[in-house]
Structure 1
Amino acid sequence: MFNTQYKKLLLTSAFLTASTSALAGYEINITENDKLTFGGYIKIDARYVDGDIAYRDYWIGDGIALEEDASQFRIFANETRFNTKYQHGEITGFIEMDFWGGGGNEIVSNSANPRIRHAFINYKDLTVGQTWSTFMNTSAIPETADFAGATTGLVFIRQGQVRYNMGNFQVSIENPESWGGDTANDNIPDLIARYNIKGDWGNVSISGLARQLHTLSGNTESAFGASVAARIKTTGKDDLRLQIHKGDLGRYVGAAAVKDLYGEEVEDITSVLVAYRHFWNDSLRSSVLYGKVDGDVSNRERTQWGINLFQNLTKELEVGIEVGNFSIDELDKDSNYLQATMRYIL
């Protein structure tokens, strides 16, 4: 009984201690086998957009084309996020949320709703829950002020899944969705296999996707696609990030750039992303990036480029500025953007 009461007191004291300094990303050892970790970051962005694609707080693979040019400026903190990791022996649970869940009254309070990003359980080589798709190599995402940056060339998707790791090989079944088709009959999970190659030089991932899609008229279509993504170290601390995607990938690539289905046809896409990050010194660096996605059936074509400069004021605090352009090429529409950011890593 004494031990039980002592553990409760220890846990209560730990939470009280953490509550006064949770922004520091504290790790709390509850017992020899139990540990809590709190983390995340606070990010403030100032963004200006000018052109004939309507303002967005961050670019996705689609936008609203305007008849005439417009310009808009906003300051916001919605990308701010927090996470908690629970560890008990070989079991890990992870939850992360940010504030892109909607809401926000710019007239009065600018309140924004939190949304779930990740919620998964990891046990040995098994991962179950919502997190980045196995099809996605997160190390190949460029460093940007714009949220995710050059999404037009990225595999960018979080969803429910069951993943099993076998050394460098990963296989998963993931949530199905016939975007543009009959979602009511999506009864077979997407199947993804991925092989990772790692070394002192960086990493390369090769991924394959197989799934079943349903058209609105009731037809069933098989869809297949492949991806190669890499982060390659070059000179000093510099690195090159590459992604190439091809096939019936639809919603997996470009963050809403193209649907899975158009009418009775499965969309075939070609997508590329290239980004180079150069360190001017230990804390000052720049990235130049270019992303593009083309849809064969829809003839949709999206392009984004950007260049930025980041400086660490301290180990935890960084500031940055980025300029770039997003275009809907088949409509001959584009907007330029300028974004400044400050991020405090918890």
Structure 2
Amino acid sequence: MKVKFTLCLNAFVSIFFTALISVPLQVSAQQDSSVYGKGLTRNAIESGMYSGFLFTDVKGIRLQFNGFVQADFIHDFMEIGNAYAMQPSSITTPTVHDGNTAFSIRQTRFSFTAYGAPDYKGRKLKAVLELDLWGSTSGNPRLRHAYIQHGKWLFGQTWSNFMDGDNWPNVVDYWGPNSYIFTRLVQLRFTQSLSKHATLSFSAEQPGGDIMIPVNWVSRTVYPDITGALQFDFGKSNESHVRISGLLHPIDYKNGKGDKKTNIGGAGNISGNIYLSKDNDVKFQFAYGSGYAKYSEDLSGLGYDAFAHAFDKRLYNIQMLAPWLYFDHFWTKSLGSTIGYGYLHLNTKDLNMPGETIKDTHYASFNTTYYYTSFFKIAGEVMYGRRVNVNGDDGNDIRAQFTAFFKF
């Protein structure tokens, strides 16, 4: 599958650049800025607030190419399963004092954006294809975003509507806070502006439960997830916001007797970015519900939406609490620091789950970033992760990371 994807990607890139050299191009190169750091924050990068190289008027479509090269140099002082992102759920329990060093370029990213002429009603048209090198330790491409946006409608894979994609703390670790609601899903989304300060959005998102079930049970995909979000922007230039989002997550399965059943997971999420001054921001999230671990940065893919024993007739949703709080500060236009903490708690006491099941994870980090220009920075970050199991076993890890980053 990876080979096919790589071949398709190579073909796409070849066709893309062949098309570019066959027509007259106007290329806008990067210009340095007097405000270095503000354009290179993690939030600016993930939210698509920065531009790249613009190729204009290619058969009526404007094409933009951008991305960045990032090199990470990581050392863990204790044993952890994920050597490239601080994932507390992968920490060995009890703690094993066996360090590891990893050098990586996996965060490196490139993106193509196509802008079409508005239709007869003035509705804008855009398509995005974005990949990174997270596919393997050798740096194979991996799809991140692939979507079409036509006016108020979005079709394709991008950040879930249940996630706040505009409140990233300025961390250099790939995943950031363990409790972050952080996932990309294929979806159909509708967004309506209510005023200059309020936006309402709804989406139907990729179905599928992330569950722990006996071997003779079957996970099914029948009903899509449904999300809704209301965002309020405020401040002199709408630089602050609070977002309230909700999720209905059908979990479809067939039990050992062949009965087809559906659990309904659900959660609420309050998040935002509060602009305190030109050099200080507070970013936060508070999510709570049951059966929604699929949307968790730390737990996605580990089966923590719901659980069933072999003798059970139905699944039982797992309740989850997921808050985090971060503070971003700029000392000067070229020097900034970020500090914060995330906590994830699973309520499993009544489910009689195995002793090695996760009960809590913790995440804390501090970094300092130096911005040489508006497109090159280096950063040093120290992270702490902790995992606590149902049986009381716990494990810890301390990680140090140095990163160099160049945007184009």
TM over 0.5: yes
Contact 1:185 1:214 in 2 (8 A): yes
Which residue does 2:207 correspond to in 1?
176
In 2, distance between residues paired with 1:339 and 1:282? 22
Asked if 1:130 is matched to 2:157, the reply is yes
In 2, distance between residues paired with 1:14 and 1:115? 31
Asked if 1:86 is matched to 2:128, the reply is no
- Give the counterpart letter for 1:185 in structure 2: R
In 2, distance between residues paired with 1:228 and 1:33? 41
Tell me the CA shift for residue 161 of structure 1. 0.1
Which blocks of at least 5 consecutive residues in structure 2 are unaligned?
Answer: 1-17, 31-50, 118-123, 194-198, 309-314, 349-356
Which residue does 1:97 correspond to in 2?
131
- Give the counterpart letter for 2:116 in structure 1: H
Structure in which a larger fraction of residues adopt strand: 1
Tell me the CA shift for residue 255 of structure 1. 3.1
Query: 1:1-150 residue pairs with structure 2 within 5 A?
Result: 12-14=22-24, 25-30=52-57, 33-54=60-81, 56-65=83-92, 68-89=96-117, 90-102=124-136, 104=137, 111-150=138-177
In 2, distance between residues paired with 1:44 and 1:185? 39
Q: C-alpha offsets along residues 179-229 of structure 1, whole Å, 9 cap, x if unaligned? A: 115664221100000001002250111000012113552432112110001
In 2, distance between residues paired with 1:334 and 1:14? 57
Asked if 1:213 is matched to 2:247, the reply is no
In 1, distance between residues paired with 2:71 and 2:248? 39
Task: Give secondary structure in 2 for the equivalent of 1:65.
Answer: coil
Task: Give secondary structure in 1 for the equivalent of 2:402.
Answer: strand
Q: C-alpha offsets along residues 119-145 of structure 1, whole Å, 9 cap, x if unaligned? A: 000001100000000011122221112
Which residue does 1:154 correspond to in 2?
180
Which residue does 1:194 correspond to in 2?
229
Q: Which piece of structure 1 moves more, 61-70 or 235-244?
A: 61-70
Task: Give secondary structure in 2 for the equivalent of 1:56.
Answer: coil
- Give the counterpart letter for 2:146 in structure 1: A
Cα 1:9–1:227 change in 2 (3 A) is closer
Cα 1:246–1:113 change in 2 (3 A) is same
Which residue does 2:35 correspond to in 1?
none
Please give the TM-score of this superposition, normalised by the length of structure 1.
0.88
Tell me the CA shift for residue 85 of structure 1. 0.2
Cα 1:216–1:326 change in 2 (3 A) is farther
Task: Give secondary structure in 2 for the equivalent of 1:62.
Answer: helix
Query: 1:273-284 residue pairs with structure 2 within 5 A?
Result: 273-284=324-335
Q: C-alpha offsets along residues 309-340 of structure 1, whole Å, 9 cap, x if unaligned? A: 01101110001000011110233101000000
Which residue does 2:294 correspond to in 1?
251
Task: Give secondary structure in 2 for the equivalent of 1:329.
Answer: strand
Q: C-alpha offsets along residues 61-118 of structure 1, whole Å, 9 cap, x if unaligned? A: 520515631111121111000000011112211000001112x4xxxxxx32111000
Which residue does 1:3 correspond to in 2?
none
Which residue does 1:230 correspond to in 2?
272
Question: How many residues are treated as equivalent by the alignment?
Answer: 327
Task: Give secondary structure in 1 for the equivalent of 2:166.
Answer: helix
- Give the counterpart letter for 2:328 in structure 1: R
Asked if 1:326 is matched to 2:357, the reply is no
Cα 1:315–1:172 change in 2 (3 A) is same
Contact 2:362 2:385 in 1 (8 A): yes
Which residue does 2:3 correspond to in 1?
none
Tell me the CA shift for residue 287 of structure 1. 0.4
- Give the counterpart letter for 1:283 in structure 2: S
Task: Give secondary structure in 2 for the equivalent of 1:334.
Answer: strand
Contact 2:382 2:399 in 1 (8 A): yes
Task: Give secondary structure in 2 for the equivalent of 1:280.
Answer: strand
In 1, distance between residues paired with 2:263 and 2:272? 30
Cα 1:279–1:220 change in 2 (3 A) is same
Cα 1:49–1:254 change in 2 (3 A) is same
Cα 1:305–1:10 change in 2 (3 A) is closer
Contact 1:142 1:148 in 2 (8 A): no
- Give the counterpart letter for 1:153 in structure 2: S
Task: Give secondary structure in 2 for the equivalent of 1:79.
Answer: coil
Percent identity, aligned pairs only, is 21
Tell me the CA shift for residue 177 of structure 1. 1.4
In 2, distance between residues paired with 1:195 and 1:233? 19
- Give the counterpart letter for 2:388 in structure 1: D
Contact 1:238 1:279 in 2 (8 A): yes
Contact 2:93 2:394 in 1 (8 A): no
Contact 1:55 1:71 in 2 (8 A): no
Task: Give secondary structure in 1 for the equivalent of 2:22.
Answer: helix
Task: Give secondary structure in 1 for the equivalent of 2:77.
Answer: strand
Please give the TM-score of this superposition, normalised by the length of structure 2.
0.75
Contact 2:223 2:252 in 1 (8 A): no
In 2, distance between residues paired with 1:275 and 1:268? 24
2:404 to 334, 342, 346: 342
Asked if 1:261 is matched to 2:312, the reply is no
1:294 to 323, 330, 345: 345
Which residue does 1:240 correspond to in 2?
282
